[in-house]
Amino acid sequence: MKEKNQIQLSDHFTYGRLLRFTLPTIVMMIFTSIYGVVDGIFVSNVAGAAAFAAVNLIMPVLMIPGVVGFMLGAGGSAIVAKTLGEGDTQRARRYFSMMVYLETILGILLTVIGLIVLEPVTYLLGADEQMAPYCLEYGRIVLLGLPAFVIQNSFQYFMITANRPGLGLAITLMSGCSNMLLDFLFVFVFRWGVAGAAWASGFSQCVGAAVPLLYFSRKNKSLLRLVRTRLEWKPILKACSNGASEMITNLSFSVVNMLYNIQLLRYAGRDGVTTYGVIMYGGYIFVGIYLGYSAGAAPVVSYHYGAGNYKELKGILKKSVLLLGMASLLLTLTALLSAEGLAGIFVSYDENLMRLTANALRIYSVSYLIGWMNIFSSAFFTALNDGVSSGLISFLRIFLFQISMIFLLPLWFGLDGIWGAIIAAELMSLTVSLFLLVRHRKKYGYGGETV
């Protein structure tokens, strides 16, 4: 029986109902972003600009192994959910357990590889003699927590499959709060510098992995549980195939961030990397709102498309475009007005660096006015089970357009060209998003009769 005020996917979605349904996902994205920002604030203000720049230089490299969790989590959860739908709960549990155990093994293996290649990669990225020790100190500690990071990423998907999204949000809150508390203790109180920030991140990731492992290792209210299993290559390869788009998206982000840092070291030195770090921390919150809404609205889109409710599907698209468009105006204005204040939070100890950062933030903020449409369009096509269109938007936006602009625009506009690369990339991606939305309007029924 439907509880009072409980929103169902089959409901008619008004503006208010759509906002209520997507709000938990938006809040989770914002909170995840905030505790990352707190991490950066402590490092920058206590450990200093060189340490902050070093962390931002090496961070994209440390994030790359974590894509295994996104790949096996997204791909594996699809297989597990399908198997549950077929009524074979025992086999679903075996597949679920196999994915978790495999992630643990791969996490340990990637940790060993990462520790071996960390030093040469650090110098390959362009770290100078002052930044390199910080990169190595931070990187080695974070890599020790890599297995937990991989597992934590995968459980973001498995919690939804287990129909325990509330528990997933609670674990995110626990992990984030522990990270912020330990940042305060290790970095501010104990003055452990970048090592303190790394240990804080590692412990918080262990919380994010240990709690769901404990939950699924015993009898629980969901259909999933960790059981004895064995490696089966067919479902493993299928999971890798299913989750390839999530892996490529997250991998592309890391590659793009590394290339930004390499270019910034050429044009602005260490200060450029520091400034880009501030931009990324601020961007996590603004873009996180778009990502949260898009992820929250996706199941609604999928349901009504599957049910053939094309009028409702058209309404959801129209309402989403209007809501996100209005939000983009507010967020862009907020970002422009808060540029100096945000720069001051991170780098108030250096007046020249603060001016550089505030100027970069203002230029970069213009992208928030455009990027929402590309983020939502990609999620919209994913929800319609059109992985080709979704993947095309993501690949062109994150990888091809942005990378090309990072290297081309500075030739004419210097350092400002690097800050503006994202604007040019979003504009080019917007043409692709709009083209695909118009092209497929009849095929999927959101713009007329299906064909």
Domain boundaries, the chain: 48-242, 245-451
As a whole number, mean pLDDT of residues 426-435 equals 97
Quote the pLDDT of residue 165. 67
Per-residue pLDDT for 90 more than 70? yes
Per-residue pLDDT for 93 more than 60? yes
Per-residue pLDDT for 207 more than 90? yes
As a whole number of angstroms, the distance between CA 21 and CA 416 comes to 39
Quote the pLDDT of residue 170. 86
Per-residue pLDDT for 417 more than 80? yes
The more confident residue out of 145 and 387 is 145
The more confident residue out of 298 and 224 is 224
Highest mean pLDDT among 74-83, 246-255, 329-338: 329-338
Answer yes or no: are the C-beta atoms of 290 and 299 closer than 8 Å: no
Quote the pLDDT of residue 5. 60
As a whole number of angstroms, the distance between CA 212 and CA 89 comes to 19
Q: Which of 75-84, 188-197, 439-448 has the lowest average pLDDT? A: 75-84
pLDDT one-digit tens code per residue, 224-267:
899 999 989 999 998 887 677 677 777 888 899 999 999 999 99
Length reported for the chain? 451
DSSP three-state, residue 408: helix
Distance linking the first and last C-alpha atoms of the chain: 37
Q: What are 377's two structure tokens? A: 């369009």
As a whole number, mean pLDDT of residues 346-361 equals 94
Quote the pLDDT of residue 1. 41
| CA nearest neighbour of 286 among 336, 252, 249, 248 | 336
Per-residue pLDDT for 204 more than 90? yes
Quote the pLDDT of residue 262. 93
Burial 179-201, CB ≥16 within 10 A → b, else e: bbebbeebbeeeebbbbbbbbbb
Question: Using only C-alpha atoms, what is the Rg of the chain?
Answer: 22
Quote the pLDDT of residue 342. 93
Answer yes or no: are the C-beta atoms of 380 and 301 closer than 8 Å: yes
Phi first, then psi, for residue 384 (nearest 5°) are -85, 5
Contacts of residue 338, defined as CB under 8 A and 6 or more positions apart, other chains included, come to none
Quote the pLDDT of residue 450. 47
pLDDT more than 90, % of the chain: 58
| CA nearest neighbour of 61 among 209, 279, 251 | 251
Identify the residue whose tokens are 């990397």: 273
As a whole number of angstroms, the distance between CA 321 and CA 306 comes to 21
